[in-house]
Amino acid sequence: MSPTRKIVDIPFNRVEGDLEVRVEHDDGAITDAWSAGTLYRGFENLMIGRGALDGLVMTPRICGICSTTHLMAAARALDAIAGVTPPDNAIRLRNIALMAEHVQSDVRQSVLMFMADFANPAHQRHSLFEQAQQRYTTMGGSSFIDVIRETKKILEVVAMIGGQWPHSSYMVPGGIAFEPSQAHLLQCLQIVRSYRQWYERRILGCSIERWLAVDSRAALDVWLDENSTQRESEVGFLLRFGRELGLDAIGRGNEAFLSYGSLDLPADTDAVASTRQLVAAGVVRRTTAETFDAAKIAEDVSHAWYKKALGALHPFNGETQPYATGREGGAYSWIKAPRYDGSVVETGPLAEAVIDRRPLFLDFLAGPGASALTRQLARLTRPTTLLAAMETWLVECIATHGATIIAGDGQVPDGQGFGLTEAARGALGHWVSIENGKIARYQIITPTAWNGSPRDEGGVRGAWEEALVGTPIADPDNPVEAGYVIRSFDPCLVCAVHTVKRNH
Amino acid sequence: MAARILCIGNRFVGEDDFGPRVYDTLAGMECPADVDIVDGGLAGLNLLRYLEDGRPVIFVDAVSGFAPVGEITVIDGDIVARQAPGKFGHEAGLPFLLHVLPAVIDNPPPRVRLIGCEGGASDDAVLDAARLSLQLALEAQ
């Protein structure tokens, strides 16, 4: 280690209570990084011995943001064990609530968390800084306030389809527990249309159709120069200020991507996709597209505080036995290290875009490569791929109101199954074994486990550990650049403690 | 209009399960029909929908730094809002919600009070808090 080499703890506790990132830097750039989840969660062990259906009630409560996604994964695992395929309207109504959660999260995370740092004093010499402060200052910025005001409305869709908020548990093996009334479905349609209008006006500055025509980096430059509405939109500002800050040149990572696929298409629908899911499943490593195979997932615990098993284990065989000891050496996180076919992969909206072969993002990969900015652009514009299908499916539900919403008898036999879906932050899976009518094993792999994993047996860094290497670090006391890299993955580790603490 | 009782917290974490335990206790008690009792969990900003109709709100949550351990305390909403962090994150909790509230709803914000318990709560403390929440809710009419 050279004399100038320093270790810095990135103060993520102000953003993500249970995440600590430590970096080593030398000569103004990060040379190594360690990401640690600091809280043992152990949800898997809470589930053992409970009734087969309890995952539907327990797992949505482990996250305040992605509760519908956990419900979807839990329900799909039970569908698989019961061997049932939900009827079309159950598929639609499961999807719509999940998509409502996504289109809210994508905008909130972008503006309230990622772009909020545009108002960081580190940027005060930049020409757009004053405007950034006016827009993104926490609590007072114009975009900050408007995003909270508007994104709160879309939640009503989840409340009406799920029958309650929070903690909706309306998905059941084989379908959904009840059908919302026509009046509620019409209200949902109105809310989605109104959200779309706001999203087009404020976030894009253009219609969704116009945005989807942006199919290359050159077309993106044309779009940005086309008019002031687009330039001044949130996407426009993200691009302009993000480029000025050099966010298009940091956070590349290893460019290996995973999507489990999500949002099954009903058998009879006007929604169009390249596969039988609106969001395709797949893996891309070094630009090579592969078919996704769930059997190739394994969890490595070599650098996590768990009892060491016999190498990396598939989640059906996974163990979650906490084992933290000073003599263990090498372990530094409560997050396990999931790997796909032995590889580190990243997951999230950029992975979905690459696997869906969306031309704009493929062009980025073919040119400068992935970056913090590309990742964030994929997130902020993902609703362009979801909102139209939400409308289509609501219209179809209204037209076929009264059609069956459940297949099978709602019972779950003994057996093994897994439920995969895409959460707002990426690939989420539940692996479930039922024995004698009880849960014998329950393993959950979250998107943040994929993105924020520690090293594996081979010493290979996790996705954002790798993406941090090479990132400039101008001021070790305010390492804002590292913050952009991490936040472009939208870390979420806060399924934890929220007590009201006296600070003042 | 009787108040709404919003019990919040994480029922899987001992340090933060006071609100959910009070909710469970209230769920087993006979409560006046016009008191709305909500298991708010970890919903954070997504609890805004319960703060927009003018009904007074009694929050129930674990607190830290306000009272001796094991003691139940009633804290005014303004004081809770002042504890808000400077930044928003996935973990943004009640202080953030109350701080941002006036700027993001159309109606005047409701009167808000928080029944908190410091540290781990005994079963008796949970029962006391449940009764107190009902009392405050009815007084708010």
Rama region for A426: left / alpha / beta (φ>0; ψ in -120 to 50; rest): left
Cα A192 from chain centre: 21
- Give the start-to-end residue ranges of the domains of chain B: 4-139
Average pLDDT, chain A: 92
Residues 114-133 of B with CB under 8 A from A: 114, 116
**CB burial readout A163-184, b (16+ within 10 A) else e:** eebbbbbbbbbbbbbebbeeeb
Right CATH for B4-139 from 2.40.50.100, 3.90.25.10, 3.90.45.10, 3.40.50.1450: 3.40.50.1450
Q: Which residues of A touch B81 (CB under 8 A)?
A: none
Position A2 confidence tier, pLDDT thresholds 50, 70, 90 = very low
Residues A247-282: pLDDT tens digits?
Answer: 999 999 999 999 999 999 999 999 999 999 999 999
Residues in a beta bridge with A347: A258
Q: Does A108 touch chain B (CB under 8 A)?
A: yes
Q: Which residues of A touch B66 (CB under 8 A)?
A: 500, 502
A448 Cβ neighbours under 8 A, 6+ residues apart? A37, A335, A425, A489, A491, A492, A493
3-class secondary-structure state, position A112? helix
Lowest mean pLDDT of A17-21, A71-75, B136-140, name the range.
A17-21
Position A327 confidence tier, pLDDT thresholds 50, 70, 90 = low
Cβ–Cβ gap A499/B103 under 8 Å: no
| Per-residue confidence (pLDDT) for residue B13, from 0 to 100 | 81
Q: Does B83 touch chain A (CB under 8 A)?
A: yes
Q: Does A121 touch chain B (CB under 8 A)?
A: no
- Give the start-to-end residue ranges of the domains of chain A: 6-487
Residues A138-170: pLDDT tens digits?
Answer: 888 999 999 999 999 999 999 999 998 898 899
User: B85 vs A12, which has greater pLDDT?
Assistant: B85
Residue A498 in this model has a pLDDT that exceeds 90: no
Cβ–Cβ gap B63/A155 under 8 Å: no
What's the whole-number mean pLDDT along residues A183-188? 98
State the Cα–Cα distance between residues A379 and A341, nearest whole angstrom: 26
Which chain B residue has its CA at the smallest distance from A43's CA?
B12
| Per-residue confidence (pLDDT) for residue A270, from 0 to 100 | 97
Residue type, A74: A
Q: Does A480 touch chain B (CB under 8 A)?
A: no
CA distance A477 to chain B (A): 17
> How many interchain CB pairs under 8 A, A with B?
139
CA distance B3 to chain A (A): 18
Right CATH for A6-487 from 3.40.630.10, 1.20.1440.230, 1.10.3470.10, 1.10.645.10: 1.10.645.10
Residue A15 in this model has a pLDDT that exceeds 90: no
User: In Å, how far are A51, A421, A440, B54 from A46, measured between CA atoms?
Assistant: 12, 22, 11, 38
Parallel, antiparallel or unpaired: strands A288-290 and A426-435: unpaired
